[in-house]
Structure 1
């Protein structure tokens, strides 16, 4: 049921791209991803990572990988069960509220 609701919301998203990815775009995304992966150990700033555990666009394991590789002691990973790619839009109000509270709480703890 939730998946069908998510799919129907995607259909009405004006900025959602529904065609196949162009080859050049895919190649550039792969190059950028490899470049980012090779530099993750350089991340030394405080880091807050939020990710929907049901994300069908970006695998939540990517955020876990970023969390593990980032070279900072001050890092937080929040996975939201049942949430999709855009955790602050198109999700149930209580889930959006939880994510916003988590962001505010993290920012407050770093000010």
Structure 2
């Protein structure tokens, strides 16, 4: 199995820690985005390109990790622009967040 291609949205401590662990496990961080430029994706191998928006249409990825504050998840999720569907629903990227207090419905 080849590693997953992951987009990291948010440079939270948890997000950056997980991204580093994912890289160490053979997964690729395709790109990152942060709401402000205050925190960079330092420490990641590469480092991966930093996006200026949440428009992901030109990227090739398997998963999107939304790693922002709980009260910002819905706002960030609403701004994500995904590539057009390929026809096979199994080929759609997985989108997830790191909050323990929010349900996945906040991503819809």
TM-score by length of 2: 0.32
TM-score by length of 1: 0.31
Higher strand share: 2
Question: Which of the pair has the greater relative contact order for Cα pairs under 8 Å at 6+ separation?
Answer: 2
